[in-house]
Amino acid sequence: MPAPILIRSATLADAARLADYNAAMALETEHKSLDPATLRAGVERAIAQPQAARYHLAEMDGQVVGQLMVTFEWSDWRNADFWWIQSVYVHPDFRSAGVFKALYRHVEALAREAGACGLRLYVERENTRAQEVYCRLGMGDSGMPFTRPTGRPSRAQLIRRCSKAPSTCG
């Protein structure tokens, strides 16, 4: 039987692991090598400023096996925050073990409790495996592409409003 997945908030003691996972994610998904010092400083700043960003970690047998970060976008139209899911990474040895699902469900519950108006994330168009996971969790393609400064479409935005029933993904 697999070890249970424990979800917890990150602390400064987790900064090195978070920076390592962020670097691995950037290399894997965007083929980018990030500056380690800048990345570590960014992670530490996020942990120190929970009003701006919050990291959540998944542990199995005391080992950090996954992460995601949440940032907040105020919506004057809704008088509430959208919670943006970012910096998602699950160690390759633990993929398809329910790690992201556990992280997502944890954050979804926190967002509901906080009165957030929805969850949002970007995903690379080519990352069909991740898109399938997000669809199974009830998220759907919003049709609002994100563009890089060059104007090339690179990501599809997936949104799930906490107050609505899960949508189907086609």
Mean pLDDT, residues 11-27: 97
Domain presence at residue 77: yes
164 pLDDT above the threshold of 50 = no
Per-residue model confidence (pLDDT) at position 81: 94
Which residue range(s) make up the domain with 15? 6-125
Domain presence at residue 81: yes
Q: Which residue, 81, 79, 92, is CA-closest to 53?
A: 81
- The total of structural domains in the chain comes to 1
Q: Would you state the structure tokens that stand for residue 112, as one six-digit string?
A: 């509901």
CATH number of the domain bearing residue 31: 3.40.630.30
pTM: 0.83
| Cβ count within 10 A of residue 29 | 15
Give the three-class secondary structure for 106. Answer: helix
What does the pLDDT look like over 87-116, one tens digit per residue?
999 999 999 999 999 999 999 999 999 999
143 pLDDT above the threshold of 90 = no
Domain presence at residue 154: no
What does the pLDDT look like over 126-140, one tens digit per residue?
888 888 888 888 888
